[in-house]
Structure 1
Amino acid sequence: MRVVTWNLWWRFGPWEERQKAILAVLRELRPDVVGLQEVWAADEGGNLAEWLAGELGLHWAWAASEAPERWQRRIADGTVGIGNAVLSRWPVVERAALRLPVPGELDDGRLALYARLDAPGHRVPFFTTHLTSAPQASAVRHRQVAALAEFVAAHRRGTGFPPVVTGDFNAPPDSDEVRLLGAGRLSDAWVHAGPGAPSVTWDRANPYVPDNGEPSLRIDYVHVGPPGPGGLGRVRAVRRAGDGPVDGVWPSDHAAVVADLDMGRGAVSAAPGRPGS
């Protein structure tokens, strides 16, 4: 099972050109499931996740931010929403959203989205999230991860496939908040990357990343629970993607993370289905 997580940088920058570049990267990757953050939905123009799903022949699930106003002020357009989305080769048979805890002065509607996927032989509990980005808000992200861990625990049961938790954590691997997720028996897939593989997903080589003197960081993750029977869900490979321009346009200010997980003996990918909602 090929898993991708990617923050799509909402409606910032040359978003119409970036939209095409995002599609080109995903089409080349041929993922089975994608966790997306900073997905736009406009009164005119539809929903980016729905459009991507239609172009790729995937099902999709979407959860909108309940507090998009801070985002909208940044582009001076109150008609564009923001949220998280899941694209899946298999039907989404269950879904739920969690609004992450945050003090009022930092509240811009960050959330976690859960989707249970009807994959061949096993239903997959899949999650994608987007933690607060304030630089000095590690304690806030710590509380958000604690809430996320409870959310995962509430929805992981009833399948032999381990939970898969993806997203933009806005924190490096050695931070308290990311280590807290590991304490919940969720392992960072990046430990399976090849030696010396480029790892940063917030990269100052990307022209959309502000040159503020801060170092490049890995802040986007695929985490997976302990493997199920026969190694079900074991990480086979992981790498970065979407980390360069497509026809001269960088797709996002983040690179994507791609992880290949073991689906068990005899499992095969299903044919792409019609888009869901």
Structure 2
Amino acid sequence: MFGGGHLPADMWPDTTTLFGSAVLSCWPIEESQYHRLGTAPGATPDPLVEAVPWELFHARTAGIDLFSTHLAPAPSHGAHRRVQVSEIDRIIKAARGDRDEQRFGERRQGLPPILCGDFNAEPDSDEIRYLCGLTDLDGETTFYLDAWRTAGDGSGYTNDWQANPYCAALNVHRKRIDYVFVGDAFVRRGNAGRVVDARVVADEPITGIVASDHFGVLAEIVWPDRPSE
């Protein structure tokens, strides 16, 4: 399932091209929703930020709420990304309703929400620290498990000029900017949401060409209520 928006004609001549995210599932997609993300008001105008439809795509499948996103790209776009992660958290909480509420003495049921994608932000940025519960944005706080921080080993670079010729051509430093986040897994029945492994994948060319300037992140997450395929 795909959700995306149109690129302007002066950026991409094929006006049928959509920019967005896709979610693939072994099970039917029960519902999906595309959300266009905003940008920081009053920030220095930037044609790229204003033209591209930055987004969050939500798909519900087999009891999972999976959210995929793509945020403003440049290291200097932190103000826009901070607005965008705040919007993402609000959207996820609205979509989940009361399913993640913690009641004293009870274990929560089911998987927490899964949030993943190209955040274009490094782990020590305010936008990622906000998602990890390490800082607030305008007085608001939240918490998601960073799968790599939880179970990864090594740098976790997904944008690496030493290993990826596309990155070398862009002349950018090595960085970890792609993530799998898991919503608060605290006291869930069957340890649902526990991250047991995280790996960088799609980092070696099979036919001599890498697929993207980004490598992928694979996370293994405990899912006690996983349906049979």
Secondary structure of 1:89 counterpart: coil
Pairwise CA distance, 1:190: 0.5
Q: Which segments of 5 or more consecutive residues in structure 1 lack a partner in the other structure?
A: 1-60, 272-277
Equivalent residue pairs, number: 201
Deviations 1:34-74 (A, max 9, x none): xxxxxxxxxxxxxxxxxxxxxxxxxxx21121x4127x735
Given that 1:90 and 1:270 are in contact with CA atoms closer than 8 Å, whether structure 2 keeps it comes out as no
Identity of aligned residues (%): 36
2:158 to 194, 197, 201: 201
Match of 2:11 in 1: 73
The change in CA–CA distance for 1:253 and 1:270 in structure 2 (over 3 A counts) is farther
1:193-232 correspondence runs (5 A):
193-196=151-154, 198-204=155-161, 205-211=163-169, 213-227=171-185, 228-232=188-192
Work out whether 1:160 is the aligned partner of 2:110.
yes
Match of 1:17 in 2: none
Given that 2:196 and 2:221 are in contact with CA atoms closer than 8 Å, whether structure 1 keeps it comes out as yes
Task: Give the Cα–Cα distance (whole angstroms) in 1 for the partners of residues 180 and 213 of structure 2.
Answer: 18
**Aligned residues: CA RMSD:** 2.0
Work out whether 1:238 is the aligned partner of 2:198.
yes
Secondary structure of 2:206 counterpart: coil
1:90-105 correspondence runs (5 A):
90-102=27-39, 105=47
Task: Give the Cα–Cα distance (whole angstroms) in 1 for the partners of residues 150 and 83 of structure 2.
Answer: 28
Work out whether 1:180 is the aligned partner of 2:130.
yes
Deviations 1:88-141 (A, max 9, x none): 1111112112110026742210100011111xxxx1111000001133110110
Given that 2:144 and 2:181 are in contact with CA atoms closer than 8 Å, whether structure 1 keeps it comes out as yes
The change in CA–CA distance for 1:194 and 1:112 in structure 2 (over 3 A counts) is closer
Considering fraction of residues, name the structure with more strand.
1
Given that 1:236 and 1:261 are in contact with CA atoms closer than 8 Å, whether structure 2 keeps it comes out as yes
Given that 1:202 and 1:209 are in contact with CA atoms closer than 8 Å, whether structure 2 keeps it comes out as yes
- The one-letter code sitting in structure 2 at the alignment partner of 1:153 is K
Q: Which segments of 5 or more consecutive residues in structure 2 lack a partner in the other structure?
A: 100-108, 134-141
Pairwise CA distance, 1:147: 0.3
Task: Give the Cα–Cα distance (whole angstroms) in 1 for the partners of residues 184 and 167 of structure 2.
Answer: 34
- The one-letter code sitting in structure 2 at the alignment partner of 1:214 is V
Pairwise CA distance, 1:194: 4.6
Task: Give the Cα–Cα distance (whole angstroms) in 2 for the partners of residues 140 and 194 of structure 1.
Answer: 28
Given that 2:147 and 2:195 are in contact with CA atoms closer than 8 Å, whether structure 1 keeps it comes out as yes
Work out whether 1:83 is the aligned partner of 2:33.
no
1:142-161 correspondence runs (5 A):
142-157=82-97, 158=99, 160-161=110-111
2:81 to 133, 137, 141: 141
- The one-letter code sitting in structure 2 at the alignment partner of 1:185 is F
Secondary structure of 1:209 counterpart: helix
- The one-letter code sitting in structure 2 at the alignment partner of 1:191 is R
Match of 2:60 in 1: 116
The change in CA–CA distance for 1:252 and 1:269 in structure 2 (over 3 A counts) is farther
Task: Give the Cα–Cα distance (whole angstroms) in 1 for the partners of residues 184 and 119 of structure 2.
Answer: 21
Tell me the TM-score normalised to structure 2 length: 0.80
